[in-house]
Amino acid sequence: MNKMSCKFKSRAENEAFARTIALSFLMPLNAAAEEMMEIRTLVSEGVTNAIIHGYEGNREKMVKLEIGYDDHGLITIIITDKGKGISDIDQALEPLYTSKKSSERSGMGMTIMQTFSDSFDIISAENEGCTIVIQKQLHVNLSAAE
Ligand SMILES: Nc1ncnc2c1ncn2[C@@H]1O[C@H](COP(=O)(O)OP(=O)(O)OP(=O)(O)O)[C@@H](O)[C@H]1O
Ligand SMILES: [Mg+2]
């Protein structure tokens, strides 16, 4: 199992940093372009949620990103914030549900993340932050990477 972790401040500009390092780290897997695009979206939506919902615009908090993959191309992505948390996880997962109707959120982020994941878990409670654990099985040829 190969893995990495990093932490960065809860600033919108760091969303691009997060998805770029995610894709760089996974480069040796030689994943298909479509799978890489899905991973990019998973990281982007998860990190954006941590910044705008978890920390609600506080630019000084830290978001943690952890990524691992095993010899069979099973990828694990964990995104953690220590922000306000989610009191009703079922509601948060409903397509089109957003707690920020006034801004231009569509409420589709988590629905899209579930579609692109093989397993998707949320560990969260009100005022206790939020951790999302994503697993995605790549269809890779590891020998081609060597
Ligand atoms: N890290 C988080 N901390 C606290 N609440 C969260 C977090 N992530 C998601 N939520 C809650 O879950 C809701 C649904 O999230 P989802 O990503 O599906 O939609 P959205 O972020 O509101 O809109 P979109 O992703 O389409 O821009 C959010 O509106 C928010 O209330
Ligand atoms: Mg979202």
Q: Each residue of 3-47: pLDDT tens digit? A: 999 999 999 999 999 999 999 999 999 999 999 999 999 999 999
Q: Which residues make Cβ contacts (< 8 Å) with residue 132, sequence separation at least 6?
A: 46, 49, 78, 79, 113, 120, 121, 122, 123
Q: How does DSSP classify residue 83? A: S
State the virtual CA torsion across 39, 45, 51, 53 in degrees, nearest 10. Answer: -150
Residue 77 near ligand 1, beta carbon < 6 Å: no
Count the alpha carbons within 13 Å of 89 in the hemisphere toward its beta carbon.
12
pTM of the shown model = 0.95
Measured by CA distance, the residue closest to atom 11 of ligand 1 is: 92
Residue 14 near ligand 1, beta carbon < 6 Å: no
Residue 100 near ligand 1, beta carbon < 6 Å: yes
Residue 83 near ligand 1, beta carbon < 6 Å: yes
**Which is the closest atom of ligand 1 to the Cα of 95?**
18
CATH number of 2-145: 3.30.565.10
Measured by CA distance, the residue closest to atom 19 of ligand 1 is: 107
Q: Mind listing the pLDDT tens digit for each residue in 88-134?
A: 999 999 999 999 988 789 999 999 999 999 999 999 999 999 999 99
**Residues recognised as catalytic:** 45, 49, 105
